[in-house]
Chain A
Amino acid sequence: MNRSARGRALVLAGSALLLGACASAAPAPGPGGGPAPTRPGPRPAAYESEDFIVTFAQPGDTPDTLAARFLGGADKAWMIEDYTGLRAFSPGQEVVIPKRPWNPAGVTPGGYQIVPILTYHNLGEHAKGRLVLAAASFREQMQYLKTNGYRVVSLADFVEFTRLGRQLPQKAVVLTFDDGYRAFKDYAYPVLKDLGFTATLFIYTDWVGAGRGALTWNDLRALAADGFDIEAHTKTHADLRRAHGETDAQYARRMHAELEQPEELFNRNLGRRSQILAYPYGRWDEGLLPKVKEYGYVAAFSVRRQGNASFVRPLAGHRSQIYSEMTLDDFVKNLNVFQEENLR
């Protein structure tokens, strides 16, 4: 190395440090070791109040690492992404991190958040009819969610959202599986585990253990222990609306069977009751709502193909069914997460 080059290196080493501080760039040199000497890594500098943390990204920082460092877990990365609108940071970049939820209703002057709840039924090696979805299509759809920044949240979190009790990520999506098909274990479970997604299974209790195509209570217990949510889909999967000519007494008996008996089975087999209901065939009417409430359900869902605002009536929630014949484009049409509306 000749003299001047060395001298230059030294000069720059000294100045890089200072300039680095000046630009609020990271104190440590980039990967590969730039001219700046490595400083012993001090705790990242940050300003903190009860609402916000203001800090500066270090080399290699992502929303995940920042959330792990400042919010107690990478699962809070969405707060940083949603607040800053960024998914990547350059070293030294200022990052404002909200310490607590700032918009539980999901309403902004430009419109409001809506949460798609997707409904699946059976899966198989190959598609069959509308409701048996090919395993490969399912994987493709889940992968799409992951790749495109959607955040799968639990149905319980969604219900809290409808009570102004929990802010959800801007791109929150809920996954549900109706009836309780065994295929869930074979085809959906591995994909969901792989991607770290959770889901709710709505089961109708007459079907549980009823044949080779059905999940058993043992399966359901294992799934529940594994972080999946099991909820009610009545006893017999009958339309819950009052039938033409049904007397008060008849209807009351039927409601008891459909809404109460599953609860006894839930208690006995899973050690808890269900407070969330999926209406069979998605059918409900205003007359049904008081009944559902009376039996202790706090949220219930149809299959009306639209997303849910936080202020949706919890007993009249919407879900979008995913059919086997849908292309990926068709699938994506069910993923709108925002209704634009000028609310200023």
Chain B
Amino acid sequence: VTTFLGCDIIEKRSLALKKVRRFFEEKDLCEVDPFHLVPYSSLDTHIALFHVENGGYLHSSPELMMKKLLGKYKKDIYFLGHVFRKEEQGSKHLCEFTMIEWYRIDFTLNQMIQESVELLGLFFPNIPAQKMRYCDAFMKYTGINPMTASAEELQNYLRTKNTFCHAEAKEDLLDLILSLFVEPHLGNDSLTVITHYPADQAALSNVFEEDGLLYASRFEIYFKGTELANGYHELRDPMLLKKRFLESNRIREKNNQELLAITDDLIQGLTHFPDASGVSIGFDRVLMLYLNLSDISQIYP
């Protein structure tokens, strides 16, 4: 059976790659394959980078280069290729994996959600999509309101779950509870689209106000407890971006991680493009669920 799987997997992978490319061709998106070796990293507080001996990094996402292309050519573009994230290894994580990332000029966040669901539908047809707010997902599965809960309440909750952790910062505790006690329930019989992330988790997305609260223009899509997609209505404000880089570095410093370089070239590259939404999807995870496999390393021949 294993040899059959080993033999079969390259064909299944090849078909899946073709299917994704056909999806974008039909929508007239232009495929781009920017350099994987980049001078700067993008804004990611919790991603460790692969350094290259003579300077630069292996990209952890094509975001920076794609946004530069978006700014220069003002065309809808997609990327289907490998990205690199040091220290990520587990049943759903690989240090090198295949990502689908695309940008749509003048798309609203909702249009981007629709198109992401449509792409996932290539692999999971007839699975309905259902929207849920970040706070509601938290409340539903843990009883915790992530906006108002204190770090101490989060620690107490973890104690009732027999989970002991040294993390003290509220944002870390929320991430832990999300991973262990919320995510496993998401998308069990539908593609669950999580929206209304708290503004401090905006990363590279815009923020918007609703009922006096600030939210990130960001979504994620989960299927069978697995995060498949992360999308933004893209931030284009250089001042705000710089502020987020500084905040990210504050956390990275606390965690003893190397600091991100912040240069004018980088800030400009990440903000000088037309109004757009973008999304990235973990191709390997999609394939893993599509083929009913339990470990992501099984989908590499």
Q: Do A and B come from one complex?
A: no
Which residues of B come within 8 Å of A, CB atoms?
A: none
Which residues of A come within 8 Å of B, CB atoms?
A: none
